Amino acid sequence: MQKQLGVLIHGAGWVSGEHTKAFQHNSNTRVVAISSRKMESVKKRAAEAGLKDIGMYTDLDEALRHPGVDIVSVCTPQHLHADNTIRAARAGKHVVIEKPVANSVDEMRAMLEAVRKAGVKTIVSFVLRWNPLFDTLKAMIADDAFGQVYYVETDYQHDIAGWWSGFEDGRKKSTGVSALNVGGCHAVDAARWFAGRGRYQPAKITEVFAYCGGYRKGLIREFHYPTDTWVENVPPMEYDGLEVVLLKFDTGAIGKVSVNFDCVMPYTFPIQIFGDKGSVKDNRVWSHKFPGQKGWVEIPTILPVTADVSHHPFQGQMDHFVDCILNNRESHCNLEDSINTHEVVFAAQQCYETKRPIQLPLR
Ligand SMILES: NC(=O)c1ccc[n+]([C@@H]2O[C@H](COP(=O)([O-])OP(=O)(O)OC[C@H]3O[C@@H](n4cnc5c(N)ncnc54)[C@H](OP(=O)(O)O)[C@@H]3O)[C@@H](O)[C@H]2O)c1
């Protein structure tokens, strides 16, 4: 039997529980260490996962020296992702990077340089690419079910607020940057995924124009959708909760994505795809492949209907990554691919200043 790859989970919070489970369930990997800011959190994560005799650390460099670490899962808050990824790559480890990968273009460049120099593999947690509806639609696109896709719309509509363990970092401009960076990057990635022609090929975005708005920036009152209550005297969100972005793709298609943290409702992730031979509205499709179609065909599958990380297909993502490492191939969802998605975040910021469309790649 092949030697199991050792995994270090770094940042023992909400999403790390699902990363840990996914690696535990992959027969080619073994979680050998956990590190975080607080030892209490490390111990809690280990106990919840039933992991004994593993390394436990509060220092990343020490954790990276733990015997047998091949993969590092970076599950810390986003302002630490660049530093953590660079340190892991320099130590020769393959890296799972939670989204968003970075808080600036400079950080992304430094990460890419470190990863290329070290020759390690990466995957970015745009986990929705493994959601069954996403996978089915992508297979149908590659099979010409909708013809040439000319328009895509995806929206990340999620009342991000104090109910989220990461909100204290996420709400601030200095550590969160913007709603697009914190959550909307999922919608940008989805638009690229559906505009791309091949089975596992995302399109590239070549131009961006954006507006921001909404009502929540600076408010000390917020809605908590998990409890359907309003909460008073809370630390405010420091950026606009609504961003709407128009996109041009290298395929000739155009698109619109939005992120809405100001919505008073549970999480939704609407998808619309229009091609010259068919259309998609979430899991309802119309296609030239169904001659004589009289109504929408509904695909009975799992939709992106909740932000609960236990619903997210991390197993598919990690299995794919392990397969890439074992077979020495790059993931379609690696750091290099994610640069185009994240550049939209920073291009949108430039639009708010210049009021002009921004070309990608950013200089
Ligand atoms: N792909 C997805 O769908 C998805 C879903 C959810 C979250 N995420 C992303 O995952 C990342 C983490 O989010 P989360 O929801 O898990 O947040 P979280 O619950 O706040 O967890 C982050 C953990 O990082 C640790 N940490 C903070 N500062 C640290 C430091 N300086 N050194 C080491 N560890 C540190 C904290 O550990 P201590 O407890 O030790 O202080 C905290 O528990 C974010 O980027 C988020 O956007 C992605």
Q: What is the pLDDT of residues 114-158, one digit of tens each?
A: 999 999 999 999 999 999 999 999 999 999 999 999 999 999 999
Bridge partner residues of 274 (DSSP): 151, 279
* Residue of the CA atom closest to atom 1 of ligand 1: 125
Ligand 1 near 125 CB (within 6 A):
yes
* DSSP conformation class of 80: G
For atom 35 of ligand 1, the residue with the nearest CA is 37
Q: What is the mean pLDDT of the chain?
A: 98
- Containing H/E element for 81? helix 81-90
Token pair of 118, please? 């070290």
Of the pLDDT bands very low, low, confident and very high (cuts 50, 70, 90), residue 1 is low
Centre of ligand 1 to C-alpha 109, Å, is: 22
pLDDT in tens, 63-85: 999 999 999 999 999 999 999 99
Ligand 1 neighbour 63 (Cβ under 6 A):
no
Do 137 and 271 touch, CB atoms closer than 8 A? yes
CATH, domain range 128-307+340-359: 3.30.360.10
Interacting residues of 312 by C-beta distance below 8 A, sequence separation 6+: 18, 127, 128, 131
Confirm or reject: Cβ of 12 under 6 Å from ligand 1: yes
User: What's 5-120's CATH class?
Assistant: alpha beta
Per-residue model confidence as pLDDT tens digits over 272-287: 999 999 999 999 999 9
Residue-range domain boundaries for the chain = 5-120, 128-307+340-359
pLDDT of amino acid 344: 98
* Nearest-angstrom CA–CA distance, 73 and 167: 20
pLDDT at res. 3: 85
How many other C-beta atoms can be found within 10 angstroms of the C-beta atom of residue 256? 16
d(CA 272, CA 257): 10
